[in-house]
Chain A
């Protein structure tokens, strides 16, 4: 099947609006991650979840929130978007045996 899916593929958003990026995996991985990728910078961890029902803050959590109600879904919410949140957002899940992370196709978000 798909592995990891993300929606939307891209979005243009007015500053101040609320936005939820969706992420779903079908590999039954316990760990899931949200990263942002900006030109010239490495992937930066926003939030993570080691298992359903738990979440943690990464390197750049401010302005973002997550929830993990079940194993498959890990949505990322921007409560009030700002232009500095313009980025490409990748969701990933982690295989606890190999430590490999598998990435979704990404969401390109532009905040104007």
Chain B
């Protein structure tokens, strides 16, 4: 079967760094996405990795290891507005997205 695992909830302090991990087992791989979802809102795109390595975009970075079925999202210089759920999704061999349940990130002052 297909499976995406990520922690249910994490807590971090404003100004700090947090790493959200995602492991996956899917039928085929055509890229891994990270989305941000604030409570009551729609998911919005953060990053896309299809090759191994680190992709940096401002305060957010995403890493992929295809051989390990593993990715992480790194958030630096945390701000209160970063409090949200972070969704990991893998595009399978049919180009459909398989979604993790999301990690709720709580930022404390």
Contact = CB atoms under 8 A, between A and B. Distances in A.
Given A90-B43, A103-B44, A105-B42, A42 B100 contact: yes
Interface stretch (B12-20, B72-80, B90-98): B90-98
Interface string A64-80: 00000000000000000
Chain B interface residue number, banded: 20 to 34
A90 B87 CA distance: 14
B30 A99 contact: yes
Contacts of A104: 42
A40 interface: yes
B6 to A, nearest CB: 9
Nearest to B102: A42
Contacts of A106: 41-42
Contacts of A99: 30-31, 33, 48, 91, 95
A43 interface: yes
Given A40-B101, A99-B95, A102-B45, 18 more contacts: A35-B99, A42-B4, A42-B98, A43-B87, A43-B97, A45-B96, A45-B97, A48-B96, A90-B43, A99-B33, A100-B33, A101-B97, A103-B42, A103-B43, A104-B42, A105-B41, A105-B42, A106-B42
Interface of A: 35, 40-45, 48, 58, 90, 98-106
Interface of B: 4, 30-31, 33, 41-45, 48, 87, 89, 91, 95-102
